[in-house]
Amino acid sequence: MSGVQLSQLVKRYGDIEVVKAIDLEVQPHEFVVLVGPSGCGKSTTLRMIAGLEEISAGSVTINDRVVNRVAPKDRDVAMVFQNYALYPHLNVADNIAFGLRIRKTPKDEVDRLVAEVADILGLTDYLKRRPADLSGGQRQRVAMGRAIVRHPMVFLFDEPLSNLDAKLRSQMRAEIKRLHKRLDVTSIYVTHDQVEAMTLADRIVVMNDGLIEQVGTPMDLFLNPANTFVAGFIGSPPMNQFDALVSGSPEAPIAEIGDQRMALPSLPELSERIGSKVTVGIRPEHAQVLTPSEHLVHVQLEIVETLGSEALLHTTLENNPFIIKTETEGYYSKLEEVSAFSVDPAQVKVFDIETGRVFGQSGA
Amino acid sequence: MQPESRINRIIHHLQREWQIYVMLLPTIIWFIVFLYKPMYGLQIAFKDYSIFRGVAKSPWIGLEHFEYLFSNDQFIRAVWNTIKISALNLLFGFPAPIILALMFNEVLHATYKKTAQTIVYLPHFISSVIIAGIVITAFSPSVGIVNTVLEWFGIDSIYFLTKPEWFRPIFVGTGIWQEAGFGSIVFLAAIAGVSPSLYESAVVDGANRWQMMWKITIPSILPTIIIMLIIRIGNIMEVSFELIILLYQPATYETADVVNTFVYRQGLQNGQYDFAAAAGLFNALVAFVLVMVANTLSRRYSRTSLW
């Protein structure tokens, strides 16, 4: 079936390697999101799959066929671009039909397919309009229509929603998800927005500096980040991280940060680190301010950001910024008085201070 | 109430944006001094003008000059010559820079492309006098390269520049050689403005370079082409007359004499300023109508227009 495999894929511009020998296997029907900061190589990877960038080394396999030397049109992929790439001089119907006409599809077949796609995307009433007369969301739908109409084996999305405003973006996100459910086509989606990645993906690939940091399901990445980069990238707001000294015993290790003490999970690697420093990570959601506990960690509250049902408490923990996410219901008036939190040691992540790798996991 | 608040708004606007208007000023002054002030003198087209009496004191004679103009065979001939030369210019000279730009766009080798561009831009920067000199030499019956080549094929040499039937092809060809390269810059800029993702999307759809040129590049630069066409049509009556004066001779007046050269000969060489002004005014009126018509048509059919 129509899976995609990348093996030891490299992209070089002169001496600069922007994609550094990455391996990835995308299963048939899977929705995989490549996410990472600007310049991490995610778009370049996608463009190599599409055939728009030459492959410097390694291989791309689509549907069990190595496509390194195959022209983009013969790879049976369709791509949705960030700026829609609609032809301004053609109306919606002609834009959708462009690829079919290039391939000399018979006219009634073109008409039938365009009508079908327009129906799926709710564009039937707009077929005669030019792109300039459409809203951003409608343009994005036309761009997707152009991809869908060819019934490709793989969809490639290059930041398709980044030109839309926040509200439209969440609408279109849901639409893409619904579309994928309906068409069940293997999809590779590039974004820098971790919320998009979390909501759309079957599996997320976190990239940084041309390398894959971690691959996993959204919840897997959220709960078990492989390193400090993933921990700092996934989640909104991201995981709090600070350096601390390990003390206590191998059975009950403790993190010391200034005058504060915090219980750490008892991990085999930690026993060797007693007396040295590590990076401690705590999700804003896991810091409890509402349940009384004996093991309180004291913080200085700076501002309370209320989001409705939730609030973000911006605090400092021994001069490190520390964000706490908490519910507001029934507690709103007390939030201004928060001065300490507690955390279940099982939810505390400990990372190697040098490599950033998490302790207690076999790794990504 | 209404008009007052509007005046206030304008004053407010000027106070806020005065720097922009200051930057506009030199252009406005240029227009006034060189284009609007001379219009005052246009009245001599309707007067029996004499330099001794001046513009204001010369007596009005109504449309007498125009009546004379339209009964003057030389003037009628000049109008037709202008139209014919302009039509040829439009037919061959207008598409030339577009084709050139499309061709440059397909050249992938950067150094080769730059060299080729420089070579075709060059004639634009050469004075018309030198251009005419080159043309006259090239077509010379004794030493000209054209006749030399003809002789290789056993064809007798032709004195091209004295033959009325050769004047228009040579003139239009020279114009293309001189300006097509430079004119292609506008279209190259328009092509550069086409989003690369349009081409990438077409590549994924399976379009080849030929299809991309016809289905993406040309439609995308069509607004630019139309604007340039409108300007060109507006200038139809303005055949580049320096080059004509440099290339024509009494033997080729039959096909070469255009309204501007006619005005020049009548006005400056024969001193008939009022008569020449009438001819020039007629020329300008025709040009004005042409621009209006072209612009209106373009706005109606292609949503692109100068104003």
Q: Is A268 found in the same domain as A205?
A: no
* Bond before A268 cis per omega within 30 degrees: no
The per-residue pLDDT for range B183-231, each reduced to its tens digit, is: 999 999 999 999 888 999 999 888 888 999 999 999 999 988 988 888 7
* H or E stretch at A60: strand A57-62
Q: How far is A105 from chain B (nearest CA, A)?
A: 12
End-to-end CA distance of chain B: 31
- Say whether A73 and B203 touch across the interface (CB within 8 A): yes
**Which residues are CB-contacts of B154 (< 8 A; sequence separation ≥ 6)?**
none
Indicate whether A362 belongs to any domain: no
Long-range contacts of range B58-67, CB-CB < 8 Å, 24 or more positions apart? Answer: B58/B274, B65/B274, B65/B275, B65/B277, B65/B278, B66/B278, B66/B282
- Among B201, B208, B216, pick the best mutation site for testing chain A contact (most A Cβ within 10 A): B201
Could you tell me which residues are beta bridge partners of residue A262? Answer: A255
- Say whether A89 and B220 touch across the interface (CB within 8 A): yes
Q: Is A329 found in the same domain as A205?
A: no
Nearest to A55 by CA among A63, A46, A64: A46
Q: Is A267 found in the same domain as A184?
A: no
Q: Is A203 found in the same domain as A329?
A: no
- Say whether A87 and B205 touch across the interface (CB within 8 A): no
What pLDDT score was predicted for residue B272? 87
What does the alpha-carbon distance between residue A19 and residue B9 come to, in Å, rounded to a whole number?
57
Higher per-residue pLDDT: A271 or A322: A322
φ and ψ at residue B147, rounded to 5 degrees: -70, -35
Q: Estimate to the nearest angstrom the gap between the alpha carbon of B100 and the chain centroid.
A: 18
Q: Across residues A322-334, what is the average pLDDT? A: 83
The per-residue pLDDT for range A248-260, each reduced to its tens digit, is: 888 889 999 988 8
The number of distinct structural domains making up chain A is: 2
Indicate whether A361 belongs to any domain: no
Q: Is A11 found in the same domain as A102?
A: yes
Q: Across residues A130-148, what is the average pLDDT? A: 91
CATH number of the CATH domain containing A100: 3.40.50.300
Q: Is A50 on the interface with B (CB under 8 A)?
A: yes
Q: Is A277 found in the same domain as A220?
A: no
Q: How far is A86 from chain B (nearest CA, A)?
A: 7
Confidence of residue A187 (pLDDT cuts 50, 70, 90): very high
What does the alpha-carbon distance between residue B160 and residue B147 come to, in Å, rounded to a whole number?
9
The per-residue pLDDT for range A196-237, each reduced to its tens digit, is: 999 999 999 999 999 999 999 999 999 999 999 999 999 889
Q: How far is A72 from chain B (nearest CA, A)?
A: 5
Q: Which amino acid does the sequence have at A347? A: Q
Q: How far is B215 from chain A (nearest CA, A)?
A: 9
Comparing CB atoms, the residue among B198, B200, B207 nearest residue A52 is B200
Could you tell me which residues are beta bridge partners of residue A190? Answer: A34, A158
Q: Is the pLDDT of residue B240 over 90?
A: no
Angle (nearest 5°) at CA B220 between B305 and B101:
100
Q: Is A164 found in the same domain as A181?
A: yes
- Say whether B200 and A150 touch across the interface (CB within 8 A): no
Q: Is A46 on the interface with B (CB under 8 A)?
A: no
What pLDDT score was predicted for residue A133? 92
Whether residue A136 contacts residue A168, with contact meaning beta carbons closer than 8 Å, is answered with yes
Size of interface A-B (CB pairs under 8 A): 58
What pLDDT score was predicted for residue B298? 78
Q: Which residue of B has its CA nearest to A84?
A: B197
- Average pLDDT score, chain B: 88
Confidence of residue B3 (pLDDT cuts 50, 70, 90): low
Q: Is A70 on the interface with B (CB under 8 A)?
A: no
Q: Is A92 found in the same domain as A46?
A: yes
What does the alpha-carbon distance between residue B285 and residue B63 come to, in Å, rounded to a whole number?
15
Q: In the CATH hierarchy, which fold is given to the domain comprising B66-121+180-302?
A: MetI-like fold (1.10.3720)
**Which residues are CB-contacts of A339 (< 8 A; sequence separation ≥ 6)?**
A298, A299, A300, A301
Q: Is A237 found in the same domain as A211?
A: no
What does the alpha-carbon distance between residue A117 and residue A126 come to, in Å, rounded to a whole number?
12
Q: Is the pLDDT of residue B74 over 80?
A: yes
- Say whether B205 and A98 touch across the interface (CB within 8 A): yes
Q: Is A39 found in the same domain as A186?
A: yes
Comparing CB atoms, the residue among A52, A81, A102 nearest residue B206 is A102
Q: Is A244 found in the same domain as A155?
A: no
How many residues comprise chain B? 307
What pLDDT score was predicted for residue A364? 37
Write down the domain spans for chain B: 1-62, 66-121+180-302
Domain containing residue A123: 4-232
A260-263/A253-257 β-pairing: antiparallel
What pLDDT score was predicted for residue A292? 67
Indicate whether A364 belongs to any domain: no
Q: Which of A232, A257, A276 is the last residue in one of the domains?
A: A232
Whether residue A206 contacts residue A234, with contact meaning beta carbons closer than 8 Å, is answered with yes
